[in-house]
Amino acid sequence: MYLSRVRLKNFRNFEDCEFSFNSGVTVLIGENNVGKSNLIFALQLIFSPESSDRSRTLTIDDFCSHVTRTSAPPEIRIVCTLTDFVTPEEKSTVQTWLTKRPNEAMLTYVFRCNEKGKVIYKTDPEKRIPIEHYSYTIFGGEEETREPFEYEQLRKISLETLSALRDAEGRLCPGSRGMLSSIVKRFGASDDDKEKMKTALDTVNRILGSSEQVSSAQKAININLQQVCGSEFAQESRLTPVGTEYEDLVRNLMIQIRSPGTGFHELCSNGLGFNNILFISTLLADLDSRRSGHELVLPMLAIEEPEAHLHPHLQRVLNRNLPRSSTSSQVFATTHSTHVTSSMSLDSLVVLNRPKTGSLQAVQVGNIFGQKYESEKKDLERYLDATKSTLFFAKTIILVEGMGELLLLPCLARHCAKKPFELDERGISLVPVNNLAFRPFLRLFGPNAIQRCCAAIMDSDSAGTPIQIREVKENATVQSLRSEFQKPELDQYIRIITNLKTLEYDLAIATKEGAEDDPMAPLLNESVIIEALNDTPGVAKSKIPMVGEIQDRRDFGKKVVELIDKKHKGRFAQVLARKIEKGFQIPPYIQSGFDFVCGRRYD
């Protein structure tokens, strides 16, 4: 059994949003303040074992600010759908929550006003209903009934949460506040074992009490205790290591840890990142034992920012192994880490997105591809790394061919665009596909996918040395992409933009606006390009033309491409990036891409 869908209505920043989940691990990604923690809090309202009447009662601030005014007063609704019941215990737990659809149950939390509040709203819909007229209810199934809700059954489903500001060391410390004793107790101990431990404790206490050091301290304390309280009220104290009973031993258990080849040490000597991993492992062990002991039918764990205090390699290792470690639990993780994102399967990713228009959107990335494009999904999973996966966090995206564009486009945006800007400040991700297929990346965007703008800036690789746009004949790959993605329904999301030939060619022949079709127009970037060629290692210096030596723009562009060749493109881009300043002419196709992702469209 697992939680397959959640629908949030009028809750915090969710006007009406539905989430779909697979079993196992789900990773929730998106920019700051997009609602990842709000979703976890919504789940806690129903499934947290620590929830009480007080914690389930919301405030006026929990209502979405975009609540639509209707004839009925506003209410918050959280609907959770459970799927795939296998064991008799699972079926028994959800028996009264079943829907009309096969193998499906539903739990709903509603926060709404009472009859007095409804009268106030009917009299004056603009008047805010006092929060004391609101209360919550939870019911199972599709329709609410007057039958009392089975909270005892709900306790069979439990959500443990690790907040972003968690105290792993504190939660794992000995004592009543720690969680170790409760975990150990669930594994049980025989009466014989308990008696043996009690005998051992008595022996330790006797040896300790007979030592001169402890007996002297104990005597000094008791003398002062009698003097302070008087003989009538004085008590007698005893110094013991952990108490005298089995429960005392378990309650004061201390966890220690070591790396291979070292001795055990306390958690205070361990790093925060490793303590976090230990805490996650301990919680998973606890949930697994509770399920094995038939205490739970669905253990769930929500981890906010599992990457906290972990270096990139360990982030990826943790998230690759987390699905195997949580086979009997359902895990939800929220993250801002591209390392976490790139290490998970696309089926595990749910992207929270703010479209330019409409309500907040939750997209299960794997579902975008379906069975028809399964191979593209597998390709994309191989392509994604910590750099490319930034596209899931961006407001808009620019896809480019490779290293040259990756180095030069930020400089062109900063110094040469019609309205200069910084990519990061606009929330724009620049993603190189590195001569791989653009198609799987483009598949991510559209009205039925992630609703964000994506510009694919690519080389036409036209034969010859074109100047006029009408001379350009795009290669077969570009033509195929246009036929599939350049459609009216995708126009506001995807723009495929090509140059005359290649990035280097178009930078070389750039001229003033309005003169692009004139082969003899001035070469505005000539001096900078020639200076960069001279500073690029490996370029044949004897073949570099002098400034003004070549008059025809087509010949100059061809010469630059020949000198750079494929072997020197990356080095040339690095050198040129250092030299680009205000006044360097931006090629029209790059400006067109900037216009699209920035929302400034002139076509």
Q: Where does 463-524 show beta strands of DSSP type E?
A: 494-498
How much is the pTM? Answer: 0.84
Q: What is the signed CA dihedral for 596, 599, 600, 603, rounded to 10 degrees?
A: 50
Q: What is the signed CA dihedral for 527, 528, 534, 539, rounded to 10 degrees?
A: -110
How sure is the predictor about 603, in pLDDT bands with cuts at 50, 70 and 90? very low
What is the arithmetic mean of pLDDT over 202-217?
85
Copy the structure tokens of residue 234: 């004085």
β-sheet bridge partners, residue 26: 332
CA-atom Rg of the chain in angstroms: 33
Is residue 336 a contact partner of residue 393, using CB atoms and an 8 Å limit? yes
Which residue matches tokens 């492992």? 281
Max distance between CA atoms of the chain, in angstroms, equals 112
Copy the structure tokens of residue 9: 């209505």
Is residue 174 a contact partner of residue 180, using CB atoms and an 8 Å limit? yes
Strands 298-304 and 330-335, by their bridges, are parallel
Distance CA 392, CA 397 (A): 9
What is the arithmetic mean of pLDDT over 294-313?
89
Whole-number mean pLDDT of the chain?
A: 89
* pLDDT number for residue 271: 80
Distance CA 33, CA 14 (A): 11
β-sheet bridge partners, residue 28: 334, 350
C-alpha distance from residue 401 to each of 223, 405, 414 (Å): 83, 7, 20
Supply the angle between the helices 191-210 and 212-233 in degrees, to the nearest 10: 90
* pLDDT number for residue 471: 66
Distance CA 203, CA 195 (A): 12
- pLDDT above 50: residue 565: yes
Distance CA 348, CA 102 (A): 24
What is the DSSP secondary structure assignment for residue 545, as one 8-state letter? P
What are the residues whose beta carbons fall under 8 Å from the beta carbon of 344, sequence distance 6 or more? 25, 27, 319
In degrees and rounded to multiples of 5, residue 202 shows phi and psi of -60, -40
Q: DSSP letter string over 112-164?
A: EE-HHHHHHHHH-TTSPPPGGGEEEEEEESSS--SSPP-HHHHTTEEEEEE-T
Query: Amino acid identity, residue 310?
Result: L
Copy the structure tokens of residue 314: 């360990």
Copy the structure tokens of residue 344: 């998970």
C-alpha distance from residue 570 to each of 195, 415, 506, 526 (Å): 74, 20, 16, 19
pLDDT tens per residue, range 219-245: 898 888 888 887 777 788 878 777 777
What is the arithmetic mean of pLDDT over 363-372?
94
pLDDT tens per residue, range 60-93: 889 998 776 677 888 999 999 999 999 999 999 9
Indicate the helix (H) or strand (E) that contains 596.
helix 588-598
